[in-house]
Structure 1
Amino acid sequence: MTGEWGSAYRELTPEAEEIFRLVSVLALPDVDVALVAAVAAISEMDTRQALDELYARCC
């Protein structure tokens, strides 16, 4: 990754990096916390925190 996204990606926690990669390959218009948690094999609470982090970085 280059530019602004590359810089933001490097600042993510490992959990948020994993969620970012997983969500990008799901190719769904919307994602559900439970679905992402199941795919990532982590708790819904940890998934929510990672998604919140991603949202804070990109929006």
Structure 2
Amino acid sequence: MSVADKVRSPCVQVCALDEQDVCIGCQRTSDEILRWTRMTNEERREVLRNVAIREQKVAL
């Protein structure tokens, strides 16, 4: 798998965890951030689905 085929990180270089241990920049948990480089593309897609759900909750 080439680098171009990998699911890219949602990191936006705003790295700070809130009270729920979720990054205020990318909406990933600290565990998701730490494991990202070892995840499969399917695992990364699942994280991105969870990120989208968290972003919707923040917007409310």
Using CA pairs under 8 Å that are at least 6 residues apart, name the structure with larger relative contact order, 1 or 2. 1
Same fold per superposition (TM over 0.5): no
Greater helix share, structure number = 1
Report the TM range for the smaller structure's normalisation.
Answer: 0.3 to 0.5
Please, what TM-score do these two structures have when normalized by structure 2?
Answer: 0.37
Asked which structure has the greater CA Rg, the reply is: 2
